Amino acid sequence: MLRLFSRVLTSAHTHRNLESGAVHRCICSATSLPASACPGFAEKPTMEPKLYRPPPEVRGMTSLDKEAFTQTITVPALRVPTGVLNKVVKSLRKATIQRPGMPRVVQDTEESTDFRLVLLDPHRVSSISSFSEAEAEALRSFGVAEELHSYELQLTYDNLKSEEVLEAVLPQGQDVTSGFSRVGHIAHMNLRDHQLLFKNLIGQVIMDKNPGVTCVVNKTNIIDSTYRNFKMEVLAGEENMVAKVKENGVTYEFDFSRVYWNPRLSTEHQRVVQLVKRGDTVFDVFAGVGPFAIPAARLGANVLANDLNPESYRWLQHNCKVNKVDSKVRTFNLDGREFIQGPVKQELPALLKAKTNVHVVMNLPALALEFLDAFRGLLHEESPCDDNLPTVHCYGFSKDDDPDTDVVKRASRSLGLPLENRCSVHFVRNVAPNKDMMCVRFTLPKEVLFNSNHEQTESSEEPAPKRQKCEETTDST
């Protein structure tokens, strides 16, 4: 809580009001006086832009000592008659002090009930002439004396923003990004090496300054390439990793430390799901905990969803139940290639005959393009047809200067058929400097699906590894 130092000055010359024990100083009484003509205020060091900078002693602190951030600062104030207080505060919205946990109106330090002090933003107001025309006019019309008073208040840890705390603590001149992704109650950070010494302090600050965050984790740079989840370390708060999130109106629960979840994919999930219609069938080859599968089922599609990670599979099933679509989603715990050559192969002929729209979603951007070879000759025993061939949405990362061309080339190579001019490419997001996530969409060519010369994966010119280990130092997709 803010503690006031009752010092108010009543004229251009400081004097003591012995009765109230308060010191009152008029900073600037004439509307037109420049800041430099207001001795003791505009020139005070506390009026510098970095007024809210915490004391220099906090630099290098590794264990959070909140008391060390407390300091007294001087801010400008207006003495406002109580009767017009609300109107004045409204008119000065942009000029009043805006600090977390700090009141804009305080008791008049002369202890008069007829007046209150309205605290002003020292970065915005250094003299009476700092007010805009409209603000000055409002002050005149409400009969507020055009005098700035200085007011000393205690600025504590609670009144600082997380960036201000961290900027003051971490080594000067080094990057102080305090950004994080929010996954339910978990704040998920990606700290740089120079920040690691301060990791627990950073975690505590993020938790303190973000209501609802009760756990802060740091992901290590190594992504487990098989299941796409990160190793992570709890920096502050509870160890509970079971998060509950809402995305596009759907609720998901999962153990964030054991499955893949990226809050930055919500738009992409929505984009693809919007293409699905009631009665369509969706094969989700790398389903995770269900962000394509479940909304598609809610729209009335029949879904077959697969994930190799037993934990993802378990949470996928759980989320189907939570969202009451378990009768619309069949779940599998297979390798993607086995899923394509098993359940997809079994279901497709009847779906093609019934002219059902079929979507195949393949969101494993590090490897999915290579998995496309699993479609080569998949239905070579069936009689070829042209209608309602499946639409594939396949994701890929690209570091190429021309990512569109790159992903199409790689998809074509994997399918054994050029896709140029028969696909569309969508830029999803930039995941790291020079690394984009792309989505290639195409109708699975009849020449690929029914090709009797291909014996599926084994006949691929460049056989794709079944499970490839790779390490990533970038974002979590």
Ligand X SMILES: C[S@@+](CC[C@H](N)C(=O)[O-])C[C@H]1O[C@@H](n2cnc3c(N)ncnc32)[C@H](O)[C@@H]1O
Residue 336 sits in the site that holds ligand X (CB under 6 A):
yes
Structure tokens belonging to residue 38: 């207001």
Residue 335 sits in the site that holds ligand X (CB under 6 A):
yes
Q: Of the listed pieces 119-127, 191-199, 305-313, 423-431, which binds ligand X according to CB under 6 A? A: 305-313
Residue partners of 226: CB distance under 8 A and separation at least 6: 308, 309, 467, 469
CB closer to ligand X out of 91 and 460: 460
Distance CA 335, CA 415 (A): 18
Write down the residue that tokens 């109580």 correspond to. Answer: 82
Least separation in angstroms between CB 304 and ligand X? 13
Q: CB–CB of 217/188 below 8 Å?
A: yes
Residues between 279 and 298 that touch ligand X (CB under 6 A): 286-288, 291-292
Q: Which of 282, 429, 434 is nearest to 365 (CA)?
A: 429
Q: What is the rounded end-to-end Cα distance, in angstroms, of the chain?
A: 43
CB closer to ligand X out of 130 and 398: 398
Q: Which of 297, 282, 306, 289 is nearest to 371 (CA)?
A: 306
Beta bridge partners of 215: 186, 237
Annotated binding-site residue? 326: no
- 357 to 376: interface string for ligand X, x by CB under 6 A: ------xx------------
Annotated binding-site residue? 269: yes
CA neighbours within 13 Å on the CB side: how many for 62?
Answer: 6
Report which residue's Cβ sits closest to ligand X.
288
Q: Of the listed pieces 212-220, 221-229, 321-329, 407-415, which binds ligand X according to CB under 6 A? A: 221-229
Least separation in angstroms between CB 303 and ligand X? 12
Annotated binding-site residue? 393: no
CB closer to ligand X out of 176 and 374: 374
What letter represents residue 159's amino acid?
N
Residues between 134 and 173 that touch ligand X (CB under 6 A): none
CB closer to ligand X out of 291 and 403: 291
Residue partners of 375: CB distance under 8 A and separation at least 6: 340, 392, 415, 444, 448, 449
Annotated binding-site residue? 208: no
Annotated binding-site residue? 363: yes
CB closer to ligand X out of 29 and 226: 226
Q: CB–CB of 289/262 below 8 Å?
A: no
Structure tokens belonging to residue 104: 């804009």
Residue 309 sits in the site that holds ligand X (CB under 6 A):
yes
Number of other residues whose CB lies within 10 A of the CB of residue 5: 14
Q: CB–CB of 451/376 below 8 Å?
A: yes
Residue partners of 250: CB distance under 8 A and separation at least 6: 291, 294, 295, 298, 323
Of positions 226, 266, 341, 459, contacts ligand X by CB under 6 A: 226
Altogether, the residues listed in the chain come to a count of: 477
Annotated binding-site residue? 64: no
Residue 467 sits in the site that holds ligand X (CB under 6 A):
yes
CB closer to ligand X out of 91 and 306: 306
Least separation in angstroms between CB 249 and ligand X? 16
CB closer to ligand X out of 156 and 323: 323
Least separation in angstroms between CB 217 and ligand X? 18
Residues between 32 and 91 that touch ligand X (CB under 6 A): none
CB closer to ligand X out of 228 and 376: 228
Q: How far is CA 324 from CA 145, 294, 299, 315, 327, in A?
A: 65, 9, 12, 14, 8
- 250 to 279: interface string for ligand X, x by CB under 6 A: ----------x----x--------------
Of positions 121, 247, 307, 436, contacts ligand X by CB under 6 A: 307
Write down the residue that tokens 């000393």 correspond to. Answer: 152
Q: Which secondary-structure segment (H or E) carries 329?
A: strand 329-332
Residues contributing to the site for ligand X (CB under 6 A): 226-228, 260, 265, 286-288, 291-292, 306-309, 312, 335-336, 363-364, 467, 477
Positions at the binding site: 269, 307-308, 335-336, 363
Positions at the binding site for S-adenosyl-L-methionine: 269, 307-308, 335-336, 363
